[in-house]
Amino acid sequence: MDRFQLYIDGQFRDGAATFQSLDPATGTPWAEMPEAREAEVNAAVTAAHRAFRSGPWPKLTATARGKLLMKLADLVQAAAPRLAALETRDTGKIIRETSAQIAYVADYFRYYAGLADKIEGAHLPIDKPDMEVWTRREPVGVVAAIVPWNSQLFLSAVKIGPALAAGCTVVLKASEDGPAPMLEFARLVHEAGFPAGVFNVITGFGPTCGAVLTRHPLVDHIAFTGGPETARAVVRGSAENLASTSLELGGKSPFIVFDDADLDSAANAQVSGIFAATGQSCVAGSRLLVQSSVKDAFLAKLKAKAEAIRIAAPDEMTTEVGPLCTLRQRDRIERLVAESLTAGARLVTGGQTPEGAGFYYPPTILDCSSVPDAASVTQELFGPVLSVVAFETEDEALEIANATQYGLASGVFTASLTRAHRMIRGLRAGVVWVNTYRAVSPIAPFGGSGLSGHGREGGLAAALDYTTVKTVWLRTSDAPIPDPFVMR
């Protein structure tokens, strides 16, 4: 089996133990992964703290940091085929998606390379005549970046890029499910020439690795992507060190189709929005809200497209849907789909687990119009399951769309510009896509509210999350400061 190592303080090293990683396409072990426990976590955080406080990193200009990030971007682009193959092998994400996504990840590092020397303070027009006052944006310190297994190189880039651009140091915890691409990514950081300790990669299990990291007294900021339950544990851990947090926690995103929409275009976007990445996406358009007058026609289009999807091995370029990452994930989806059907949902297509090896589950559509509170409608399944709810009016669509504790993404399909603007204003979501879906860019901030978390990734907003504001007061008068206890 392949064997991987941790990356701590500029060196590759073994963990306290090892664990096996399963190939989701076969369900069999393919690699040995290093397990970090308290000693390894402490070594990584201590190295990051030392690198932040002393040595070459804090002496580098912002422009020099940008040049290192630019070199890293070039190395990521060159290594994209290798990284894509590893992510596909270790997580089951299909190769056509990992190849395209990792190639684009390089652009995120380029964006933050260019932004590094543009993170600015401000001069304040203070109300005192003998004072000059300005603010400085300074790096917050040691960042604990915690990423899940899905789209992990992308989800890491939106943390690593702005954190390093701002001058922070990073300890990245890769998920114990599918950590191979992040452990390999460390080699690129090493090759790029970042000083020892500036970037570290560990992996391990929640209680013995993640919890130790989030409560570590030398951690200053925690950037987490994952589920709400784990996020609550992260926030509880941060009470120990009072680290600031940015949380991206997924969602139950509404995909709203009005009767004046281009139904063919909307159907293609919906298929991409829920079945791409086998539905394992934080922005998956898993709640289809469709106007009643076009519901049957739209569902017929979706059913035909879903049943034509090619389910096969993830390393084949013609595969359109691969396996889920873990068996426990499939077991949970099966349970929630069964609960929804028992509650009265109608199975439009899918829903039957295929026989054979691997953690496969077919594209599934449930018509939940008669049971809008079914489990598949209210809970994030993180798989290729679409729940459909019909609506009559624009106000009803908004009411249904906002009837969730999540607030990450949303989609609106309509030919009416005025309606689009009303929906944009009314939707409680951090991202609104109109007549498109799943579009991303390093230039655009991304994030949500409620159970979808807080903070933003992407754009200047993300870089500012990794800074703290220092206010400077400079007295310009040469006259002595008067004695405060002498009455005048």
Number of separate helices (H) and strands (E) present in the chain: 14, 21
Tokens of 196: 């020892």
Q: Is there a catalytic annotation at residue 248?
A: yes
The rounded distance, in Å, linking the Cα atoms of 150 and 86 is 13
| 3-state DSSP assignment of residue 88 | helix
Closest CA to 147 of 59, 73, 87, 191: 87
The rounded distance, in Å, linking the Cα atoms of 265 and 267 is 5
How many other C-beta atoms are found inside a 10 Å radius of the C-beta of residue 392? Answer: 10
* Identity of residue 292: S
The rounded distance, in Å, linking the Cα atoms of 361 and 2 is 27
| 3-state DSSP assignment of residue 288 | strand
Secondary structure letter of residue 458 according to DSSP: S
Residues 6 or more apart whose Cβ sits within 8 Å of residue 321: 94, 275, 278, 309, 310, 311, 362, 363, 384
| 3-state DSSP assignment of residue 326 | coil
- Helix ranges (H only) for 33-141 are 38-53, 62-91, 95-115
Which residue among 248, 320, 380, 457 is the active-site one?
248
Q: Which residues are catalytic?
A: 248
